[in-house]
Structure formats: structure tokens, C-alpha cells
Amino acid sequence: MAKTTLKSLLEGYAWERTPGKALPTLADVVAAHNAKTNLQEADMMTINDFNSIFETFYTALEENAKFMDIDSLSTLKVAIKILQKAQAQEAVAHGVNFTKRPVNLS
């Protein structure tokens, strides 16, 4: 059985690190933080892009509703409610605004 020392415990659990690789420097930590921040900003743009896609989708549904039968319209109304609930949850998770858009399928 290998001898456990305080040093081996500290090295093994104090930092997430790859064996044989040095502990991160301040510059490494700053670079990792900046990369994470940039990724979050990219996520914000993606959510806004999705909002634009949803708007185009809802507009197309409204324009084509007159060609759909009653069963299809009922199914679409349920699907839109579920989609808007998911859209609202994603907006909250990413800290962006979401306004529930009424969709008129009449």
C-alpha cells in the first residue's frame, strides 16, 4: 500500500490539474475567465438570433393558417404554447428579455 502524505493529498485534491502539469498562473486564470465571458456573450447573440427565427416562424404560421384544417390548427396552438414556454425559460437562463408574442391562427 502506498504511503499517503499531506503533500500528496493537497496536490491531488486542491486543484483540478493534469498530472505532470504545473498549477495555473494568474494569466492562465484570467485567460480562462475571459474565454468563458466571451462564450456567454456569444450565447446572448445566439438567443437573440433564435428570437428572430421564432418571429419569422410565427409570422409564416399566421400567413398560412387559412390553408390549414381545424385539427392542424389545434395541434399548432398547443405546440406554440410549449415552444413559447421553452423560449421563455431559455431567455431567463441566459438573462435576456422575452416577450410572449400572441400568434393569431384565425
Please list, residue by residue across 80-94, b when 16 or more beta carbons sit within 10 angstroms of its beta carbon and e when fewer do. Answer: beeebeebeebbeee
Share of the chain above pLDDT 70, in %: 76
pTM flag (> 0.75):
no
- What pLDDT sits at residue 34? 79
- What pLDDT sits at residue 17? 65
According to DSSP, residue 19 is labeled T
Rounded distance, CA 24 to CA 18, Å?
A: 11
Other residues' Cβ atoms within 10 Å of the Cβ of residue 71 = 8
- What pLDDT sits at residue 29? 81
Please list, residue by residue across 53-65, b when 16 or more beta carbons sit within 10 angstroms of its beta carbon and e when fewer do. Answer: ebeeebeebeeee
- What pLDDT sits at residue 22? 79
Rounded distance, CA 106 to CA 19, Å?
A: 64
Rounded distance, CA 40 to CA 98, Å?
A: 18
Domain layout of the chain by residue ranges: 23-94
pLDDT in tens, 11-53: 555 556 677 777 778 888 888 887 877 766 666 667 777 778 8
